[in-house]
Amino acid sequence: YAMLLSLIFLIVLVAAIVGFVFRHEIKTNFESNLNLALKDYNATTDRHNEAVDTIQRTLHCCGVQNYSDWERTEYFSQRGIPRSCCKNQNDCSEEDLKDPNKAKLKVFVHGCFFLVTSTMESKMSVVAGISFGIACFQLIGIILSCCLSRYITNNQYEMV
């Protein structure tokens, strides 16, 4: 049991170190995937579109760097900026969303990349604290299982 807990502890430790070391690559990869999701965004519902819409609605943002990122997409030429960028869903018309100057007043102007990464970084201390707590419980479990093993081994020799 101690060996199993030690193995799990080492896997978690390696994952945490790798995540910390490669955090910049994770950000770059997220940004490129978000750009790709905007480029491939269309009116049909699939999980990529739903993810972009959910991020934009939840974080009150639009585009990758800002709302003008949508102007470089095929979706913008057909339908304008998506409704998920609107500050007020009832106040957004399709004509407003097709005109970048009018849309600036009706949609969220901040980009999603900065908001997502800053939200993740602000929550990292909570994740690190929880991980540290779990690691402490694992270490206590390893120590107690070693003590139990030693106790069982010593008692068998005394019985004989």
The pLDDT tens digits of the residues spanning 89-126 come to 888 888 888 888 888 888 998 999 998 888 887 887 78
How sure is the predictor about 157, in pLDDT bands with cuts at 50, 70 and 90?
low
Domain map (residue ranges) of the chain: 1-158
- The tokens for 125 are 């201390």
CATH of the domain spanning 1-158: 1.10.1450.10
CA distances, 55 to each of 39, 111, 123, 160 (Å):
16, 10, 16, 67
Residue 81's nearest CA partner among 91, 93, 146, 29 is: 93
What are the tens digits of pLDDT across the range 8-48?
888 888 887 887 777 788 888 888 988 888 888 885 667 88
